[in-house]
Amino acid sequence: MKKKGGKDVEKAFLEPSFEYLVENGLENTSIRDLCKAMGVSSGSVYYWFESKDDVYISTVKYGLSKIVNELFTMAFQRMSKLEYFFETFLDEVDKYKKEFRLVFQVTSSPIYGERMRNKAEEFKFMYEKYISMLSEMLGCDIEVMTSFVYMIMALLVDYVMWEDLPTSKMQLESLYKLMKSSCKKQKFNS
């Protein structure tokens, strides 16, 4: 994305574009469709973005950042009762299944995948910040917390892809027990 417009572009274009792509699918959406739905001209879009690919990648990256921030915010709100976090995590993920599936589609695409995966470095910085905060809150070693967070993210991907609720619940229960035995602070009571 070109460095023009900043937050205005996010609010005016990226957020509604992500919602449009989630509802209509990547393969069913052209730049013309997005422009029409957003009420902007294609000239404006190409002023903000370098190419069609840049529009899709920037839109999905924006959407994924928003979801990740919302899920980590929910996690921090539930840290005082960590068992509750684990019991309700999949309910929260259910709210974003369509969004995650779009992210998976773009990330695994032969057209967009490599560029989207290159953006993953930016997400690693975001994750590191959240992992550090969680580690401090729960009294866990940073390496241990990093493993827990990435295991939860892998579980999320597996759950969204296959919708195997019993297996995902079993995995979360095991992670909770492991986390409870690995962290020092007593934030694990119901």
Q: Which domains, ranges and CATH numbers included, belong to the chain?
A: 7-182 (1.10.357.10)
Per-residue pLDDT of the chain (190 residues; tens, 9 = 90+): 655 556 677 667 899 999 999 999 999 999 999 999 888 888 888 888 899 999 999 999 999 999 999 999 999 999 888 899 999 999 999 999 999 999 999 999 999 999 998 887 888 999 999 999 999 999 999 999 999 999 999 999 999 999 999 999 999 999 999 998 988 764 544 4
Specify the pTM: 0.88
For helices 142-162 and 165-182, give the axis angle rounded to 10 degrees. 170
Query: Would you give the distance in Å from CA 137 to the centre of its chain?
Result: 22
Q: Compute CA distances 41 → 20, 27, 47, 55, 91, whole Å.
A: 16, 21, 10, 14, 38
